Chains A and B, each alone.
Chain A
């Protein structure tokens, strides 16, 4: 142990390395400058603003800045509404993530087992849902579930659920979040479907044949062969879904008309927006932004770490 040699890096040709360094600088400069200016600097600013009493007068330069330290955070943590919004955000995002992963993966497995015509129809429909802009999707779902003119209420009361006539889906918290989640899953499962289908197609046929020769049923080989083999892709789909669904803004804002009556259907993103731009509490809004960023980074970080050993990620 004591005498173990330090790993010596291969003697890189010095000239090449120097040339590479200069060339890399030129190649990386445009993107690097933009990312520093539009991502790194704003993160620094976000943290900074969150420590100040930063309202409209301060933003306009008409009033001096007052350093508050962690007061904005303290105010936030003592605010009952913040905790409610946080809990709702986590629950809503979790439902959307699980929903789109389950639907997307199940349909990918299904698509790999049917003939071309059925598969084409499914993929066409999925591409259509994927292409629909968030705002257009929100409106269509709202219209389908509209209290007075919606097809869903009409159909439900038509088949005997007469209580559903003129039912307001967006009035109650549960119904509103459920409706938004359904729309989010509808437009985000296609990404999972396409990713997982590509993964399933990449599995060598011999592996599945061997499983079926050993007597494994379709169901069993899906669980024990297919899913473990597409795990790296499943992880990417999961991370993407977490990142997307945690910061849903358009759907909540549009479908619940700005977060619902008395803000019952807020998520962190909309809450931060309203504190900052409607309430002109930029300091408080920034504190919410910091909390959201930390939460998202730690969730995805933990997930990447827990999965890293079993995948080729990074």
Chain B
């Protein structure tokens, strides 16, 4: 668990009161169990055989794990297609917001030009605008773009990418600013003396140096795009095969007749990519978040 559990130098110097710490540790472990329980229940219910899910006295374990629920999900609904759609949208949002916000962050940190402060304040305010409240005008805007430029190839998934960029760019720029500012100016001077162009310095030297910030930004942008339910519900209306995962799961959920096994199996499948992404970057995540704050 890298950063999070790295032994702090504090432990050595602190006067240890054993009984107090033991109580604190027991409380911590109990809380961890409570926090993890809904996830345990989700995975467990996904693997339970049909006869053990929708019953009046559910058991917190199963002796006969089964893949039936997963099979129903994967065969009935065209789940794979929706999964790929979600993945494509979320990854496109991550890549585009990284590239564009990085360039903006460099300009706003390293360059001196008129109106810089005004731009910074605008970005700060933009972070607080609830993009969800703009659903109506964005819906009309996407319809216009689609009508005006069908050759441009902007299908409904493309419109989702654009909308999520509107959310992720402001905070990504703001967050990366701190990281860019932390890179010593002398490095730029040295690169200039060596004959590197500004563009080259930006991409070949600065970009790798702000990696923790890029990771933190990509996690937040990915999660936001992956979770989106509202915009997918509003924008994707012409073709079912354009649906993303959050919409697709609704198929199994009917207030009076819910297939809970399938809902839990699809929820589990939907959680896995985020979890994988988190595990890949978590070492850097804490550093990324605190770095942004210091900037």
Chain A interface residues toward B at CB < 8 A: 12, 16-17, 20-21, 23-24, 27-28, 30-32, 34-35, 37-39, 41-43, 45-46, 49, 59, 107, 110-111, 113-137, 139-141, 143-144, 146, 148-151, 154, 186, 194-195, 197-199, 201-202, 205, 208-209, 212, 218, 232-233, 236, 239, 243, 246-247, 249-250, 253-254, 257, 269, 272-273, 276-277, 282, 285-286, 289-290, 292-293, 296-297, 300-301, 314
In contact, B249 and A151 (Cβ under 8 angstroms):
no
In contact, A31 and B103 (Cβ under 8 angstroms):
yes
Bound-complex Cα distance A39 to B270 (A): 29
In contact, B229 and A134 (Cβ under 8 angstroms):
yes
Q: A31-B104, A129-B38, A194-B285 are in contact. Are A139 and B230 (CB under 8 A)?
A: no
Q: A34-B100, A133-B274 are in contact. Are A20 and B39 (CB under 8 A)?
A: no
By a CB distance below 8 angstroms, the chain A residues around B36 are: 124-125, 128-129
Q: Is B195 in contact with chain A by the CB < 8 A criterion? A: no
In contact, A243 and B28 (Cβ under 8 angstroms):
no
Q: A125-B33, A195-B293, A233-B293 are in contact. Are A276 and B136 (CB under 8 A)?
A: yes
In contact, A135 and B267 (Cβ under 8 angstroms):
yes
By a CB distance below 8 angstroms, the chain A residues around B14 are: 208-209, 212
Q: Which of A131, A205, A282 contacts B13 (CB 8 A)?
A: A205
By a CB distance below 8 angstroms, the chain B residues around A30 are: 99-100, 103
In contact, B112 and A136 (Cβ under 8 angstroms):
no
A13 CB to closest chain B CB (Å) equals 9
In contact, B24 and A113 (Cβ under 8 angstroms):
yes
By a CB distance below 8 angstroms, the chain B residues around A129 are: 35-36, 38-39
By a CB distance below 8 angstroms, the chain A residues around B204 are: none
In contact, B255 and A257 (Cβ under 8 angstroms):
yes
By a CB distance below 8 angstroms, the chain A residues around B1 are: 120, 123-124
Bound-complex Cα distance A151 to B170 (A): 42
In contact, A149 and B55 (Cβ under 8 angstroms):
yes
In contact, B166 and A133 (Cβ under 8 angstroms):
no
Bound-complex Cα distance A144 to B99 (A): 41
By a CB distance below 8 angstroms, the chain B residues around A24 are: 107-108, 111, 113, 116
| Main SS at interface, chain B | helix
Bound-complex Cα distance A156 to B9 (A): 45
A247 CB to closest chain B CB (Å) equals 5
In contact, A297 and B4 (Cβ under 8 angstroms):
no
Q: Which of B70-78, B121-129, B149-157, B183-191 contacts A (4 or more CB under 8 A)?
A: B121-129
Bound-complex Cα distance A140 to B128 (A): 30
B139 CB to closest chain A CB (Å) equals 8
Q: Can you offer 11 A-B residue contacts whose CB atoms are under 8 A? A: A27-B103, A38-B141, A43-B129, A117-B25, A121-B29, A124-B36, A126-B35, A143-B45, A246-B130, A257-B255, A273-B234
By a CB distance below 8 angstroms, the chain A residues around B253 are: 139, 254
Chain B interface residues toward A at CB < 8 A: 1, 4-5, 7-11, 13-15, 20-21, 24-25, 27-29, 31-33, 35-36, 38-39, 41-42, 45, 53-58, 60, 99-101, 103-104, 106-108, 111-114, 116, 119-120, 124-141, 162-163, 165-166, 169-170, 173, 198, 223, 226-227, 229-230, 234, 245-246, 249-250, 253, 255, 260, 263-264, 267-268, 270-271, 274-275, 277-279, 282, 285-287, 289-290, 293
By a CB distance below 8 angstroms, the chain A residues around B8 are: 201
Closest residue to B22 on the A side, CB-wise? A114
By a CB distance below 8 angstroms, the chain A residues around B170 are: 35, 39
In contact, B229 and A135 (Cβ under 8 angstroms):
yes
By a CB distance below 8 angstroms, the chain A residues around B56 are: 148-149, 154
Closest residue to B112 on the A side, CB-wise? A20
Bound-complex Cα distance A149 to B9 (A): 49
In contact, A286 and B286 (Cβ under 8 angstroms):
no
In contact, B141 and A250 (Cβ under 8 angstroms):
no
Enumerate the 8 nearest inter-chain pairs by beta-carbon distance, A residue then B residue, closest first.
A45-B137, A136-B267, A198-B290, A38-B166, A27-B107, A125-B36, A42-B137, A125-B35
In contact, A32 and B104 (Cβ under 8 angstroms):
yes
By a CB distance below 8 angstroms, the chain B residues around A111 are: 28
In contact, A124 and B32 (Cβ under 8 angstroms):
yes
Bound-complex Cα distance A119 to B32 (A): 9
In contact, B134 and A46 (Cβ under 8 angstroms):
yes
Q: A135-B229, A149-B260 are in contact. Are A38 and B163 (CB under 8 A)?
A: yes
In contact, A154 and B111 (Cβ under 8 angstroms):
no
By a CB distance below 8 angstroms, the chain B residues around A293 are: 129-130, 133
A52 CB to closest chain B CB (Å) equals 12
Closest residue to B6 on the A side, CB-wise? A116
By a CB distance below 8 angstroms, the chain A residues around B290 are: 195, 198-199, 201-202, 233
Q: Which of A59, A115, A136 contacts B25 (CB 8 A)?
A: A115
Bound-complex Cα distance A188 to B285 (A): 16
Closest residue to A239 on the B side, CB-wise? B128
In contact, B112 and A49 (Cβ under 8 angstroms):
no
Q: A28-B103, A42-B138, A110-B28 are in contact. Are A243 and B130 (CB under 8 A)?
A: yes
In contact, B112 and A28 (Cβ under 8 angstroms):
no
